[in-house]
Amino acid sequence: LGDAEQKPEQGELVYAVVAARTGTLVGAFAYYAKAGAIGRVLQVLAQPGQAGPVIDCLVDHAAKRGLPGLRGRTQPVLMEAMLGRRIAFVHVYSTVLHSRDPAIVQACRDGQGFFNGIAGEHWCRLIAGTFG
């Protein structure tokens, strides 16, 4: 995460936790925020059954920072919660997977794999970074 924070052109890397009214932690998220620009979500975590409230908090949090929208990869477990929340899905990224272990490949095909902005490469300076 330290490397992910070294991308000022993406904006500030914002971390937030989401708590229920009872105070119980139900999720967390991380995204790049630059007012007036589309934010890039690196991570969304939610307890089972809490994806909807976590997504609502993420969208509200970003809107209060002046972001007109968010983009990023999603997980199968979050898809159902995103439906009906005025979220558009556009296929712009693909993942190439290679493993000598067929069980790993099958787990990813079955939606058990975990691919996101942190597990992927979007956090590193090679993607939209500056060098000088």
Per-residue pLDDT tens digits for 46-87: 999 999 999 999 999 999 999 999 998 887 788 889 988 888
- The torsion angle over the Cα atoms of residues 53, 58, 61 and 65, rounded to 10 degrees, is -160
Q: Which neighbouring-strand residues pair with 39?
A: 70
User: Is the pTM of the predicted complex or chain greater than 0.85?
Assistant: no
Which of 13-17, 40-44, 87-91, 99-103 bottoms out in mean pLDDT, i.e. has the lowest?
Answer: 87-91
Compute the distance between CA of residue 120 and CA of residue 75 in angstroms, rounded to an integer: 13
Give me the amino acid identity at 36. G
Give me the amino acid identity at 53. P
CATH topology of domain 8-109: Aminopeptidase (3.40.630)
Domain boundaries, the chain: 8-109
Residue 44 neighbours by CB distance under 10 Å: 27
